[in-house]
Structure formats: C-alpha cells, structure tokens
A and B are shown apart, each in its own frame.
Chain A
Amino acid sequence: MSTADTARDVEQRLSEALATIDALISGQVDAVLDAEGKSPLLLTRAQETLRQSEERYRRIVETTHEGIATLDPKGRITFVNRRLTEMFQYPEQKMHGKLLSYFMAAGPEAGTAVPAVANENQEILEQRVRYLRKDGSELWVLLRMSPIRDADGRFIGALAMLMDKTHSIVAEEALRKSEEQYRQIVETTSDGIIKINTHRKIEFVNRRFAEMLGYEPAAMIQRSVFEFMSAAAKRTAESSMKRRKAGETKAVNTTFRHQNGRDIAVNLAGSVILDEAGRYIGYLAAVRDITEQNKLEEQLRQSQKMDAVGQLAGGMAHDFNNLLTVINGYSELAITQLQPDNPLQNAMEQIKKAGTRAAALTRQLLAFSRKQILMPTVVDLNELISELEKMLQRLIGEDVLLRTKLAPDTGSIKADRGQIEQVVMNLVINARDAMPSGGELTLETHNVDLTEDFSRQHLGVSPGAYVMLAVSDTGVGMSAETKARIFEPFFTTKEAGKGTGLGLSTVYGILQQSGGSIWVYTELGRGTTFKVYLPHFADDSLRSRPTNAPRGGKQGTETILLTEDDEMVRTLATKVLTGYGYQVLTAANGREAISIVEHHSHPIHLLITDVVMPGMHGRDLADRLTALRPELRVLFMSGYTDRAIVHEQFLDEKTFIQKPFSPQRLASKIREILDEACDLRQ
C-alpha cells in the first residue's frame, strides 16, 4: 500500500468513525458490539422507549387542563407548563425562580397557609388557594403538591398541580354567601320556621322554633310534626294543610306542645313547597308564638268588660244615693221625733238599718265603677298595714296565721287612705275565705321598678317606680275560669248570702282610680297571690293627718244657701238644717242660687251645693258666688263625680260630704266649716 493509499485509508476510517459518532449522537444507532463481539448492547430500544415516553409525558404536560409546575427543594419554580402560564397570565420566564406563594392573594379566605413546597414525606391534597392573575382578577385553584425524589430517593423538589376552580368556587362562594344570608334571616327572625316533607316528617326547624318548644333543633329532625301537637291541634293542622294544598293562604291559630307538656298558642302561616316540576314535596311554615298576644287581648277584653259593668253600676248607684239619702234622712228624723215608746220606733230603726246597709253597697258599687270621690293623701303603706294589723288578725280568726313582711324602705303612695284600707281588708277577707281550714296569710310590701317588658305584658301599666303590696294565701287557689271573672261585680264563689261579690270589684275599682293595678297569680290547690302596684310618690308634704274631731254642739243660727237639683234631697236637707236652727235659702240650680245671692241683703254664711248639676256645676257656682261674697264658705256634696273632677283633685276632705249622709253627719260638717271660718276671722 502506497503512502497515498495509506493516507486515504486513514482518512476514510476517520471519516467513518466521525460518521459513527454522528449517528450515535443523533440516535440512529440501535446496538453496539463489545470488543469480543459476544453480547451486543441494544441501544435503540431503550432510547426509543425513553424518547417515546418523554414525548408522551411532554404531550400530557402541555395539553392537560391542569397547571403544572415543578419546584426546587426551596419551593422556587423550575418549570411551568403552558396551561399554568395561561392561568396566571404570566410568561414562563416571569414565573421561573419565584415561589408559588408569590402569586397568592392576601386575605384570610385566600386559603390556609400553603407551604412553599411539599413536605418531604407528605403530599398536599386538594388545598383550596386563591391566587391573583396578572390582571388582578382572582384565581381559585385546587392545589396538589407531591415530593419528587431522585433515583437514590433524595428529595429534590416538588411537583405542583393546580386545577382552576375559579368558576365553581366563585359560584360556590356566592351560593355560600347567599345561603349564609338566608341562614341568618332564618335564625334571627322572631318567628319559628319549620319545614316538613309529605310524610309530615320534620326536615328543618330554626333555633327559634326549637326553643319555643323546649328542644334542640337536631332533636326534632326526622320526627313527625304531630309528635309536637295535641290531638286537636293535629286536626287543625291537617285540615289547614289540606286547604293550603287547595290554594288557601290564610294563617291559622293552633297550638304546639312544649316539651314540658304545656300547649303554646301559635299563629301558623304556611305554604306548600313544590319542586321544579310543580309536584308538591312538603310544607314550610312560619310559626309565631302568640301566647303574650293572647294574654294581652284577654286583658283588654277583661278591662273593657269591667268598664262596661262599671258604667252601669255607677249610673245605678248615683240614683240610689239620692233615694237612700232621702230614706235614711227621713227615717232618722222620724226616729228623733217619735216618742221612744211609739210602736213605729222599731219599724223606723229597721228602715234606717236597711238604708245604711244599702248605702254601704252603693258605696262599693261606686268604688268599683271608679266614680267615688277620692281624697288622696300621701300614705305610708307599711304604717297603714301596721295600724290595721290587729283588726286584720281579728278578722281572719285563729286558724289563719297572719305574717307581714314589710320592707323598711317601702316608699309612700298617693291615694285615698280609707280606700287603700278597704283594698287591704277586702284582699285579706278574700284570702281568709280561700282557707276555710286554716293556713297562712302573708302581707308583703316592697318597692319595685316595673320595666318596659313588664309594661308590655301587662295592659295599662306604665313602666316606673311602684310600691308593691302582695297578699298571699295558702288556700284552695282558683281555676282559670274563676280567675277570669273574680273582679266582676256580683261574681262570687261563696255560698249564697255569704258574700256580696263586690269585695274584689271594689278593690279593682279603687286601684284603677288610684292609678294602680292588681294582678292575680294562682294555681288550684296551691294558693293565690294578689299583687297590687301603686305608683311610688316621692313628695311627703301631703302626708295624711287625723282629721280634727268636731267640737261643740251642732246647732247654729247662720244663713245657709242650699243648692240641690234633686227635690227630695233638697227638701230633706232643708228640714234637717232648719231643725238644727239654721236659716235656709234653697235653689234648684246655679242660676237660681246666683239670683238669690244678688238679691239677698243679709249675710249668707255657707253655700251647700251638689257637685254635679244640670246647667252649672257646683264648682263653677262656688267660684261665682265667692267672687260676689268673699266671706262665703262652701260645702260640696255628691254621690259621685266625674273622673275629671276627681283627677283635678279640687275636692278637699274638709269641704266635702258624700251622699248618702245622715243628718248628724251633715250638721257636724257644717259646724266644722263655720267654726273654722270663725277661728280664721278672730
């Protein structure tokens, strides 16, 4: 071989060797033979498999709907697929080297803190994370992260997969918010809400409804709604549901049974629930507890009834008073004028006795009808009870133990002392009669502040400071029916002839007229408590004082102008007054009285006038006449008066006499007034 040949051969081999290397590099080689040619090493199969597999993964990674990133052990992004760049709206190079959390939105709902990288041994499964896109819009993803290890098992980073859930999560969030809103409405409304299915099984109740019946909401679910109703209420509910299915929408009043067995009065406004196809799948109802409302309505009915009865009784008592003044007056005159041994003496005594009893009855009727003339003074209730205690003890007898619990700081009230004594006595008698075989009677006083809440639940009571008097017995108690009627006049549970049925009516009337109120708490067999509330009165200057006893005789010679529209009463009074030695001028009304005063040239010492007269009222007349004759004294008399007059409180105990009055009483009243006028002049 020539040198040139040799050179060519070498060149040839070299070029073949280079071509072999090229082929190896470009992957065109399948197998390599080792030096001994014993075991050819197959290259191409492995290479191809790898290439194909890589190609397959590349295609998956680039076409998958999930965003994919690989992170280094510190959590920095080393690779992102196209989908992830689309999701974040950042180009790949802007994402490289950053932490995933760099893109996270602020705020607590962004998702619980996501570690920068999956823990070496733990995957992150479907964590909800909120990121911000480049344009600032929010991107909700479900994030999964898993560790990547090398062939030796060393932790070399993490693979993060991010599923875009913005659409569904935003919708879900909106739904959640809207549900939350509805839940709040349902849970804060004062109405109970209940949903039942076609089998009458409870599917939902709000807390209010459960509380209304004394349960936990969960304890009611899946139970039949009828388990919470009485048989009667079940029938009402069934028929209401039927009507509702037929299209009726009116709410019904029914009851639900409380866990404690008591029925709760409710107003039930329900509607049928239909599915999308219009098939009926159950009922939804708003349930309002109307116990309080019913109670108030009942109180209103009671008070209206009492008003009506009171007006009737008042009207009658007024007429009776005039009649009784005449009957009693003449019988008294007759008694003083008859010889003691006259056989008619006893008959007249009996007439007078009956008249006096009748007068007492009309007084009670007037008290009930709140048309009594009250002379309010400041009264210390504790003092009043202490003074009465001995008498009360006698009144209740030995079988009943009387206990008093009088709070020392109990405030004063402003009321007619006599009337309040009457209230205490009537309540004590009532309590005694409730304990025929003995028991314990407690009188209790203390100050109370009645709240707005109490006022809402008790018709006609204004909130404020009150003095409370409680009269409790350990007697037989009352049924609800009795309790509803106890204040009605002539309603009595006592045997015929034993009670007038006016005791508690009187109490009721007096308290109403005095700005107070009375409430009964009772249970059959367990006794009764009456609670009386009277407005606390802070000013002590009007404290009641014992009235001066009339002094001296009852005779007089002064001139009296008597103005009274009732002829019988006028005649009687004239007779009585002239009998006591007075000069009497009479007038049937105000006009006549003025005319007399204008024309009478001698002194007139006293005007006695009825308060309520046709034309001019007694008060106006007195004003007119005292203007003409300042020395003129005035004595008012009346069987009753309008509430307006009482409330103005112009009437003073000293210048007032209540019908029916006895001749002696009239005479001593006149002397009191004239003697005082005389004292003042001296």
Chain B
Amino acid sequence: MAKPKKKESKLLLRLYIAGNAPNSLAAITNATAVCEKHFAPAYHIEIVDMLTHPGRALIDRIIVTPTLIRLFPLPARRIVGNLSDTHQMRLLLGTK
C-alpha cells in the first residue's frame, strides 16, 4: 500500500523510471505535460530512477518501469507505460 509522504491538498505523483530509457523519458514528458495543463501549480511529481534506487522500487512493489503512482488524493493508483495513453491518464488523474 502506498504511503503519502505529505498531507497536502495538491496532487502528488511518483514516477519510477529507468535512466534515459526511451519509455522513461517519454513518461516524464507526458506526465509533466498533463500536470502542467490541468494542475499547475498544485501538483508535485517525484521522479525515482529505479537504476540508482532499486530499494525504493522494491518498497513500492514496482516490477517494471516506467510506472506512475498517484499518491494523493487517495486511494493510490498506478499506471505502467510511457503515459501516452490519455484515457488511462484521465482515469488516474480524474481529469477530463
């Protein structure tokens, strides 16, 4: 179960990536773009590189990258992939 680090009202996301791998870079770009459009400035994305912090990925039960976790608002949700699927993104972020 994901544990939010801060109890704030803004959108909190954590994105697990693998270095400069293409899907990882695409995921960063896609996530940032959606957040900037719909939530700026009330959002925060923490980007965790699984290659340098594999222990954290283990804690969050991450199997593959890229994986985006919505930490807040609860309940926590996650999507796998390069975040190019806008339908999935809308479900996760509750946007239209």
Contact = CB atoms under 8 A, between A and B. Distances in A.
Contacts of B21: 30-31, 42, 44-45, 48
Interface of B: 17-19, 21-24, 50-51, 54-55, 57-58, 62-67, 75, 77-82, 84, 88
12 contacts: A20-B63, A20-B64, A23-B64, A26-B81, A28-B84, A30-B19, A33-B57, A37-B58, A42-B18, A43-B64, A44-B24, A48-B22
Contacts of A212: none
A32 B58 contact: no
A16 interface: yes
A40 B52 CA distance: 10
B84 A33 contact: no
Interface string A136-155: 00000000000000000000
B80 A31 contact: no
B17 A20 contact: no
A30 B18 contact: yes
B51 A28 contact: no
A42 B19 CA distance: 9
A45 B23 CA distance: 9
B81 A31 contact: no
Nearest to A44: B21
Contacts of B79: 16, 19
A437 B41 CA distance: 144
Interface in A30-54: 30-33, 36-40, 42-45, 48
Contact of B88 (A19, A24, A38): A19
B18 A16 contact: no
Interface of A: 12, 16, 19-20, 22-24, 26-33, 36-40, 42-45, 48
A16 B78 contact: yes
Instruction: Give 7 nearest A-B pairs by CB, closest first.
Output: A30-B21, A31-B18, A37-B58, A28-B81, A23-B81, A23-B80, A30-B18
Nearest to A18: B80
A30 B88 contact: no
A23 B64 CA distance: 9
Nearest to B51: A40
Scoring A22, A24, A38, A44 by chain B CB atoms within 10 A of each residue's CB, the highest score goes to A44
A32 B57 CA distance: 11
A16 B80 contact: yes
Nearest to A16: B78
Q: Most chain-B Cβ atoms within 10 A of its Cβ — which of A20, A23, A43, A48?
A: A23
Contacts of A42: 18-19, 21, 51
Contact of A37 (B23, B55, B84): B55
Given A42-B18, A45-B21, A48-B22, A33 B81 contact: no
Contacts of A32: 63-64
Of B22, B58, B75, B78, most buried by chain A (CB within 10 Å of CB) is B22
A44 B23 contact: yes
B80 A33 contact: no
Contacts of A37: 54-55, 57-58
B52 to A, nearest CB: 10
Contacts of B57: 33, 37, 40
Contacts of A43: 64
A90 B78 CA distance: 52
B77 A12 contact: yes
A359 B83 CA distance: 143
Nearest to B25: A30
Given A23-B64, A42-B21, A44-B22, A31 B77 contact: no
Nearest to B58: A37
Contacts of B58: 33, 36-37
Residue with the greatest number of chain A CB neighbours at <10 A, chosen from B50, B51, B58, B64: B64
Contacts of A45: 21-22
Given A37-B54, A44-B21, A44-B22, A30 B65 contact: yes
A475 to B, nearest CB: 113
B62 to A, nearest CB: 6
